[in-house]
Amino acid sequence: MSAIITVGLDLAKNGFQVHGADATGGAVLRKKPRRAQVLGFFEALPSCIVAMEACGGAHHWGREIGKLGHEVRLIPPAYVRPFIKRQKNDAADAEAICEAAIRPSMRFVPVKSEETQGAAMVLRVRELLIRQRTQAINALRGHLAEFGQVVPQGAANASKLIAIVEDPESNLPAEATATLQVLIGSLAHLEAQIGRLDAEISRCAK
């Protein structure tokens, strides 16, 4: 068997797909190791280029495989698709990744450290919580509108919505008030969590 120069690794939850190619680009290895076998497989493999799509879990595997002496290349999924020659499946994906990795004009994604990923996670979680806060405010506004209470859009007006619910003279039905208090409680929790993340972002920025 010719020496393996490039390996395309298609990531999965359990069954991974490996496609190995020699210096001419010819296929010399096709294998489907289980998740627990992946590092053992690459540990036994001579140093080579190992390419993966830059998707969920790729940076973790990139770090671990890189520790074994291999050159890891992460490729944006959109750059891999043009190299799929037949019906899309794990084997075809691994082969396409392998071929894309050796193209001289290909652009790669640097493997991120755990610290870098942790910092980026703070921003993504904050965005998620802000979307949830917006949904809670919109729900509160929509329900109050059903009782003739209209408040302009915008997170800055959330306090006005809360004031209407908590005002005993707003003449809201008791059942509605109890339900809307649940939304208000969720909104307060979201605000507190967003504040914690904001503080963490400020700390990292300093």
Q: Based on the fold, state whether residues 66 and 144 are members of the same structural domain.
A: no
pLDDT in tens, 158-191: 899 999 999 888 888 988 999 999 999 999 999 9
Q: Based on the fold, state whether residues 89 and 129 are members of the same structural domain.
A: no
Q: How confident is the model at residue 1 (pLDDT cuts 50, 70, 90)?
A: low
Q: What is the pLDDT averaged over residues 70-87?
A: 92
Q: What's the residue count for the chain?
A: 206
Which of 101, 122, 144 is the C-terminal boundary of a domain? 101
Which pLDDT score is estimated for 124? 93
Q: Look at residue 201 and tell me if it is in a domain.
A: yes
CA dist 92 and 83 (Å) reads 9
Q: Based on the fold, state whether residues 150 and 192 are members of the same structural domain.
A: yes
CA nearest neighbour of 61 among 4, 26, 91, 18: 18
- Three-state secondary structure of the chain: CCCCCEEEEECCCCECEEEEECCCCCEEEEECCEHHHHHHHHHCCCCCEEEEECCCCHHHHHHHHHCCCCEEEEECHHHHHHHCCCCCCHHHHHHHHHHHHCCCCCCCECCCCHHHHHHHHHHHHHHHHHHHHHHHHHHHHHHHHCCCCCCCCCHHHHHHHHHHHHCHHHCCCHHHHHHHHHHHHHHHHHHHHHHHHHHHHHHHHC
pLDDT in tens, 116-164: 898 889 999 999 999 999 999 999 999 999 988 888 888 888 899 999 9
Which pLDDT score is estimated for 170? 84
Greater model confidence, 66 or 14: 66
Q: Based on the fold, state whether residues 85 and 129 are members of the same structural domain.
A: no
Q: Based on the fold, state whether residues 49 and 129 are members of the same structural domain.
A: no
Which of 101, 127, 152 is the C-terminal boundary of a domain? 101
Q: What is the pLDDT averaged over residues 19-42?
A: 93
Which domain range does residue 70 map to?
A: 6-101
pLDDT in tens, 47-73: 999 999 999 899 999 999 999 999 999
Greater model confidence, 134 or 86: 134
Q: Look at residue 67 and tell me if it is in a domain.
A: yes
Q: Based on the fold, state whether residues 151 and 190 are members of the same structural domain.
A: yes
Partners of 196 in the β-ladder: none
Q: Based on the fold, state whether residues 11 and 97 are members of the same structural domain.
A: yes
Q: Look at residue 108 and tell me if it is in a domain.
A: no
Domain count, the chain: 2
Q: Look at residue 134 and tell me if it is in a domain.
A: yes
Q: What is the pLDDT averaged over residues 13-35?
A: 92
Q: Look at residue 50 and tell me if it is in a domain.
A: yes
In percent, how much of the chain has pLDDT > 90?
72
Average pLDDT, rounded, for the chain: 92
Q: Look at residue 25 and tell me if it is in a domain.
A: yes
Q: Look at residue 198 and tell me if it is in a domain.
A: yes
Q: Look at residue 180 and tell me if it is in a domain.
A: yes
Which pLDDT score is estimated for 49? 96
Which of 75, 101, 127 is the C-terminal boundary of a domain? 101
Q: Cα dihedral angle (132, 186, 169, 150), rounded to 10 degrees?
A: 0
Q: Based on the fold, state whether residues 97 and 13 are members of the same structural domain.
A: yes
Q: Based on the fold, state whether residues 131 and 80 are members of the same structural domain.
A: no
- Check which CATH number belongs to the domain holding 53 and give it: 3.30.420.140
Q: Based on the fold, state whether residues 78 and 15 are members of the same structural domain.
A: yes
